[in-house]
Amino acid sequence: MNIKYIMIAILVLGSLSYLKYSTFESFEPSPKPEEHKRAGHFLKTNVTEQYEKLNVMGKKPYVSFYSDSKYTMLPYAGSADVVHFAKLYNVDYIAIDERALSKWDYYGELMEMDKYSDEVELVYEDNTERLFKLFKVKK
């Protein structure tokens, strides 16, 4: 009988220490990527083609979501391989953002993609919160 009470006391004390030393940050809303919303709005308002038929490549699908376009995942590669991949998958725009890519080995090269390749051109840049660039793939 005493063993049951000891086991319950251990469980209760363990639970209390967990509550004391844990944080509930995961339940708080994370900051929204506002630069992605602005890029999506830019595509919807400034692209002469039908924006629903656009294919946007990025690490996260936010720009595609906010511009109502198709999404292709950005490969973990250098700028030349990313451009080649984009051409294979008929990508129209490539979204490069500091928020998602700053820890990648190729981050600096991807941010300057237009200097490494003549196949893309910078059409949109936003650095209000985090640096964000949108490159158009030349057809």
Residue-level pLDDT, tens digit, the chain, 139 residues:
688 888 888 888 888 777 666 655 555 555 567 888 999 889 888 876 676 688 999 998 999 988 888 999 999 988 899 999 999 999 999 999 888 888 888 888 989 998 888 899 999 998 888 889 999 998 8
118 in a domain, yes or no? yes
22 in a domain, yes or no? no
CATH code for the domain of 89 = 3.40.190
Alpha-carbon span 93 to 60, nearest angstrom: 13
Which residues, 6+ apart, have CB-to-CB distance to 93 below 8 Å?
Answer: 43, 54, 55, 56, 57, 63, 123, 134, 135, 136, 137
73 in a domain, yes or no? yes
74 in a domain, yes or no? yes
Q: How many domains does the chain have?
A: 1
Reported pTM: 0.74
42 in a domain, yes or no? yes
DSSP H helices in 2-138: 2-21, 34-46, 62-67, 79-88, 98-101, 107-111, 113-116
Q: Give residue 91's domain range.
A: 34-137
20 in a domain, yes or no? no
